[in-house]
Structure 1
């Protein structure tokens, strides 16, 4: 870059007869020609000059001398400038040949990062401002390698489509989740770029916080805040099978998720469609506050959705998107409805009936959700008979509306949010005041 800068400052001097033309290489402009030094003109009258041959010869000699001195000065200056430029180029080549490989990798990473708006990486840990409210930190690969015990298998928190998520302890004694993406496939690169770009601009209590990122050769890493209770999928369908999730805790998780979606749909400019909402992408902290994560497939309003590759997870994908490729915010509402059914029924979104036969939770539950006599019997046994039946019917009604086949029949996520708020206790972030002595759940309300 220094050689380029030096070349950009070069002023080419072209000598043509007695006229000098200056070319500014930085601007590509040619300044108006500047005439060569004019011969000395005597103040003596023209009639006297005509009869003074000696004076005429002196003036001619003076003109030639001035012209020669100017040419010599230009040549000397041009030669000196050329030597300086040559020295800079040689120094640049020398440094490039002697740059350690690790530094070259970092240089490559910096150029790569520029492609998706992130600022150049500087040093071990530097910050690049992405918006007026967030600062995204570039983290050194070695630091993250140490934090995760060299990406030890026992520290894996989860496995995704393009890599694993590890638990790591950073230098400031803060635990974090480190997603490691391997390979150079166009999909993995695009998802990495999308996630870092979006999360660097988003700040909301129900959306995962981005702590930093790193690029090392073909490996890309994203660092998030650690969510101690893992994903909703693990809590519902893992070893505990939802035993830690009471009725009020589950409705609070649904409310938090709706708040996160409402922020994406109504408050982000342009609007953001998550496109991959599912229980595994809803993370829970130590107090079971939920946050949306994994924004690699997210799209913003204005994106040409016709050119977007059909993506998502079976069981959560809205029918109009699956069949016609039509993607709107109502696609997220459909996926939210499926998550609500998981919380309510304790069943997976798609279950195998036979080796070649599957059944979706929507198909199985829909006929029974609207039958008040059957509904209490299909609820997850762990929470059955622990809620007010009126509240159960209301949650079921919200779920039925969200999973309507016709997107225009589905509510906006704002309407869903307003329907859930009265069902969540005040101490958990809702407006419900519990009169009975049964404690709801020992969690803290989410600030909004």
Structure 2
């Protein structure tokens, strides 16, 4: 019994020591003293919650990478952690991240923005949202070891070749965005070892670009040095004369040439080389670089040829970050370049936060719309995967049809049917074009949107919440039939799970339900709220977020409620409707009534889409009197809202939300 108690006590005392060994010494920390929090504050509470959940998420992730955000602005705590790609013990990864939280709060007491690095892992937390950025400019340079003396040019060239090869491997051949390698040299310096890593959420092209940025400064900071490393939040590398990683290297480069013997000089000095030695060193360096370039070009050509041979006959089933359960036609990049005239400006239909959309025509004459995700858009990867999974499985006449996809040469392209009348907002809010939208056409558009929304909520095998339903995401075909598009922000829910909570609110101001904006709660009733806004916009021809007249800026809901209570609702109908004697006033009043029911403050007071459809298609269903609509937003900025994380330096004021609402404005086809 005594022995058992003694073992328990020893375990309790030794556990913190073993945990510390898992992370080792702090390599570097960066404390932002300009932003501090206080004890027992909301930020400290959110940070404490992160410190308990993020280590587990890191250790349970196949890529040993995790990001999270907890709480509401201004106390939101954002965090990112990454363990080294050769880590085989997941619990050690979690221990390292847990220690990082503890040490960060000790060495940078009460700082709201801290970055801390260990050899096996690193962590950053902040009250500012840095998670959508792939910026790597904040980096720490750590030379290691003594200098090599002769020939320095050969050694530096060999290090450069090895780092370039390891960076390529990390970017292109590893789900963990991690690579290791070894290069043979000579008797005096037998081998050089290197490793490189990016955060796994980066696209291959972004990872390669990030690593190129820090490898390019190697000669400036590490020339002739036996080792060195650059620590960055998004990418890092290290080289040494011994293996700085576990297991066998993933790459093995042969010796570049013989006859040159580097040696170690303890005082960092060196002896002058004879001219013949210098020329030999330069020749060897050029030979190494030339051989490496030739090898890279050959591999690239072989890989491209294989891909071109395989893609036409096979649907996409590769491991592009494991896109699940889809079977889509793959279109050749060359065919899409011809169809869009090499993505010419003349064929561009619009551009948004994730990239541009181009009109094209395939060889068989079929017109298409090609959404081209920008290569620098890291945030768009998850949204593209969502669209591929969802839209490929959704088949309804009021949903845009997905034709195929192209994932070739770092391009990410999604191909849809072309909608000649583009999006609803381009007609509805245009004073001239809206004159062609008589009540019959508006009636058809409202009912089509309602049917499509009921399908994704209740009738499809996948139960989906769109989360960004708005006029610019409703496309119109040649007969003005509406089709809902842009499922990049959609969420799945299963069985009876009709609502959920998110830490990152995404969508567009003016269309989002109050419970979503304030608390992050979303459900099918969130989409019903957006549908109600659309109905009221279609009837009035006015945006929910915009100026009503030159003297007063009033949001649409406040305006409609004012006229509804005074019995003058027809006065704010679209002027093109008011000027026509054949407009059925009772139908307009009914549709306004339905719109108001959909924008009630409590989700329980809003109808389901099947109920809304029943009301829209029946003359006998009675409606209860609506209450005042949910929050009436005043002084909104007219026009499209900037996407969260996008550049806002175009002379347009940024839209600010108390809950850091993430915005989308992808101009549809």
TM-score (norm 1): 0.65
Of 326, 347, 357 in structure 2, the residue corresponding to residue 165 of structure 1 is: 357
Residue 298 of structure 1 aligns with which residue?
Answer: 490
Does residue 1:288 correspond to 2:455, yes or no? no
Q: Is the 8 A contact 2:542 2:556 kept in 1?
A: yes
Residue 144 of structure 1 aligns with which residue?
Answer: 336
Larger Rg: 1
How far has the Cα of 1:393 moved from its partner? 1.2
Q: Is the 8 A contact 2:548 2:555 kept in 1?
A: no
Residue 455 of structure 2 aligns with which residue?
Answer: 263
Aligned mates of 2:301, 2:388 — CA distance in 1? 23
2:586 aligns to what SS in structure 1? helix
Assess, with a 3 A threshold, how the Cα gap between structure 1 residues 233 and 364 changes in structure 2: closer, same or farther.
Answer: same
TM-score (norm 2): 0.44
Point out 4+ residue stretches in structure 1 off by more than 6 angstroms: 129-132
Aligned mates of 2:538, 2:481 — CA distance in 1? 15
Residue 209 of structure 1 aligns with which residue?
Answer: 401
Aligned mates of 1:155, 1:367 — CA distance in 2? 44
Does residue 1:382 correspond to 2:576, yes or no? yes
Does residue 1:416 correspond to 2:608, yes or no? no
2:434 aligns to what SS in structure 1? coil
- CA deviations on 1:282-309 (whole Å, 9 max, x unpaired) are 0110111111000000000059943452
How far has the Cα of 1:387 moved from its partner? 1.7
Aligned residues: 317
Aligned mates of 1:251, 1:102 — CA distance in 2? 55
Residue 562 of structure 2 aligns with which residue?
Answer: 367
Residue 190 of structure 1 aligns with which residue?
Answer: 382
Aligned mates of 2:526, 2:412 — CA distance in 1? 29
2:311 aligns to what SS in structure 1? coil
Of 222, 231, 244 in structure 1, the residue corresponding to residue 423 of structure 2 is: 231
Stretches of structure 1 that go unaligned for 5 or more consecutive residues are 1-95, 111-119, 424-448
Q: Is the 8 A contact 1:126 1:139 kept in 2?
A: no
Aligned mates of 2:344, 2:433 — CA distance in 1? 27
Assess, with a 3 A threshold, how the Cα gap between structure 1 residues 296 and 189 changes in structure 2: closer, same or farther.
Answer: same
Aligned mates of 1:410, 1:247 — CA distance in 2? 25
Aligned mates of 2:324, 2:449 — CA distance in 1? 24
Of 310, 315, 324 in structure 2, the residue corresponding to residue 127 of structure 1 is: 315
Q: Is the 8 A contact 1:350 1:358 kept in 2?
A: no
Q: Is the 8 A contact 2:367 2:418 kept in 1?
A: yes
1:123 aligns to what SS in structure 2? helix
How far has the Cα of 1:405 moved from its partner? 1.3
Assess, with a 3 A threshold, how the Cα gap between structure 1 residues 264 and 246 changes in structure 2: closer, same or farther.
Answer: same
Residue 101 of structure 1 aligns with which residue?
Answer: 300
Aligned mates of 1:337, 1:196 — CA distance in 2? 28
Residue 156 of structure 1 aligns with which residue?
Answer: 348
Q: Is the 8 A contact 1:125 1:140 kept in 2?
A: no
Aligned mates of 1:98, 1:161 — CA distance in 2? 33
Of 328, 350, 372 in structure 2, the residue corresponding to residue 180 of structure 1 is: 372
Residue 406 of structure 1 aligns with which residue?
Answer: 602
Of 503, 523, 542 in structure 2, the residue corresponding to residue 328 of structure 1 is: 523
1:242 aligns to what SS in structure 2? helix
Assess, with a 3 A threshold, how the Cα gap between structure 1 residues 313 and 404 changes in structure 2: closer, same or farther.
Answer: same
Aligned mates of 2:431, 2:591 — CA distance in 1? 26
Aligned mates of 1:102, 1:254 — CA distance in 2? 52
How far has the Cα of 1:265 moved from its partner? 0.4
Q: Is the 8 A contact 2:464 2:492 kept in 1?
A: yes
Q: Is the 8 A contact 2:502 2:520 kept in 1?
A: no
- CA deviations on 1:388-425 (whole Å, 9 max, x unpaired) are 221111111101101111111100011111122248xx
Aligned mates of 1:154, 1:99 — CA distance in 2? 36
How far has the Cα of 1:311 moved from its partner? 0.5
Q: Is the 8 A contact 1:351 1:360 kept in 2?
A: yes
Of 543, 548, 556 in structure 2, the residue corresponding to residue 348 of structure 1 is: 543
- CA deviations on 1:44-93 (whole Å, 9 max, x unpaired) are xxxxxxxxxxxxxxxxxxxxxxxxxxxxxxxxxxxxxxxxxxxxxxxxxx
Assess, with a 3 A threshold, how the Cα gap between structure 1 residues 136 and 240 changes in structure 2: closer, same or farther.
Answer: farther
Stretches of structure 2 that go unaligned for 5 or more consecutive residues are 1-294, 318-322, 620-669
Aligned mates of 1:348, 1:315 — CA distance in 2? 8
Equivalent residues in 2 for 1:428-447, closer than 5 Å: none
2:577 aligns to what SS in structure 1? coil
How far has the Cα of 1:221 moved from its partner? 0.9
Aligned mates of 2:304, 2:507 — CA distance in 1? 33
